[in-house]
Amino acid sequence: MKSVHKFQILGNPTATAHNPTEACPQCGDASFSFQDGSVMCIGHGCFEPERSDVRLFPMRQQFDRRHGITGDDRGLLATKVAESPDAALAERNRINERIRLTALARQPRL
């Protein structure tokens, strides 16, 4: 798991349980896991799975496929976070809007 800025969490994943089920990679405290394999610790922030994480990384891959999130999306967002929080937030909002519109297009028509 690697630490990431909260703006790097894409697609608005929901928690996998109502109670914390994961251990924080930094302190070991109970933390929340999300549908995309990310983990949030109250004290240390957000973490995303890396390829070596055999349990959570497949969740990330499945989430990304389902929502049309590409490696380029994640890489660009990491670059924007390094540039400035404002740039990262704008890019995150743009990507999340694309995800939302794609999901709406897949909905059956009434």
Confidence label for 103 from pLDDT (cuts 50, 70 and 90): confident
The reply to whether the predicted model has a pTM over 0.85 is: no
Using DSSP's 3-state secondary structure scheme, residue 109 falls into coil
- For the chain, give the mean pLDDT: 91
The structural domains of the chain, with segments of one domain joined by +, span 2-106
Distance CA 83, CA 23 (A): 30
List, as own/partner pairs, every contact residues 25-30 make where C-beta atoms lie below 8 angstroms and the sequence separation is at least 24, other chains included. 25/1
Q: Which segment of 55-59, 91-95, 104-108 scores lowest on mean pLDDT?
A: 104-108
Structure confidence at residue 105 (pLDDT): 84
Which H helix or E strand runs over 46? strand 45-48
Structure confidence at residue 109 (pLDDT): 75
Residue with tokens 């949030």, as numbered in its chain:
40
Confidence label for 27 from pLDDT (cuts 50, 70 and 90): very high
